[in-house]
Amino acid sequence: MSTSLLDLTVVLMLYNEQATLKEVTAELSAVLDSLGRPWELLIVDDGSTDGSANMADDLAKSDSRIRVIHHQTNGGLGAVYRTGFNSGRGCHVTFFPADGQFPAHILQIFRPAMDDTDLVLGYLPVRPGAWMSRTLSATERLMYHALLGPMPRFQGIMMFRRELLNQLTLRSDGRGWAIVMEFILRACRKPCRVISLPTVVRPRTAGRSKVNNVRTVTANLLQIVQLRRLLKADRATASG
C-alpha cells in the first residue's frame, strides 16, 4: 500500500512486554479495522530482552500492516517517541504503550475528533493506582506547570496530524517525556486547533510500570529544566 494513502499510524511502544504484546496488538488491529481507514501499526522495540523483539517480528510477518523498528539498546521513552515521530507514515499519528493499560477503543473517540482539530490530548479524570503513584504523577504535573507555564491537560494518549511535525523543530533529547512536552508546547504556540479529551486506564495485567517511579520522574524533571532553557533561548532569539 502506498504510504500516501495511510490514514493512521499507531506507534506501539514496546519494552519487555512479552506477556501482553500479542493481546494488545490484536486489540488494536481489531479497532483499527473497525475505523474503516488504511492504517499501520509501528512497533518500536526499545531494546527488549525478554523475547518481545522476536514476538514483534513474528507479528509483522503475519500482517503486512505491522512494522517493527528495533533499538539496539534501551533508550527510554524519549528515544521511542523520536523514532515514532520520524518513522510514522500515516496522515495521523498516535502512541500506545504495549502494556495494555490504555484500551484500544480510545482510537474510536480520537480519530473522529481529528476531523475538526490538529492535536487531541487525552487526560485521566481520575488517576487510579497506589497513593505513591498518584503522588508522583501529581508532583510531576505541578513541576511541569511551574517550569513551563500553563499547558493543556495531558496524560497518556495523544493523536496529531503528522504535518504538524513539519512545522516544528524539536530539540529535546534524553530518555524522558521532554520531547513530548516540547512537541505539545510548540504545537500550542502555532495557530493550530488543540483539544483535551478524557480517557480511561486499566490496571496492568503483567509486569510493573517502567515510568511511574522516583528515578524516572526525577530524570523527566531534569529534562524539563533543560527544555525550559531551550524555550527561553528561542524566545530571546526571536525577540532579538
List pLDDT tens digits, range 73-111.
999 999 999 999 999 999 999 999 999 999 999 999 999
Contact between 44 and 78 under an 8 Å Cβ cutoff? The reply is: no
pLDDT for the residue 126: 67
Q: Which of 219, 205, 215 is nearest to 102 (CA)?
A: 205
With a cut of 70, say whether residue 58 has pLDDT above it.
yes
Residues 181-234: tens digit of each pLDDT:
889 988 988 889 999 999 999 987 776 655 555 666 666 677 777 777 777 777
Contacts of 136 (CB under 8 A, 6+ apart): 212, 213, 214, 217
Q: Is the dihedral angle over the CA atoms 170, 172, 174, 180 positive or is it negative?
A: negative
What confidence tier does 238 reach under pLDDT thresholds 50, 70, 90? low
Query: What is the set of domains in the chain, with CATH numbers?
Result: 3-239 (3.90.550.10)
What the block records as the C-alpha cell of 189 is: 504556540
DSSP 93-131: EEEEETTS-S-TTHHHHHHHHGGG-SEEEEE-SS--S-H
Which cell goes with 224? Answer: 524539563
Query: Considering only CA atoms, which of 93, 85, 48, 73 is closest in space to residue 180?
Result: 85
CA distance 158 to 151: 14
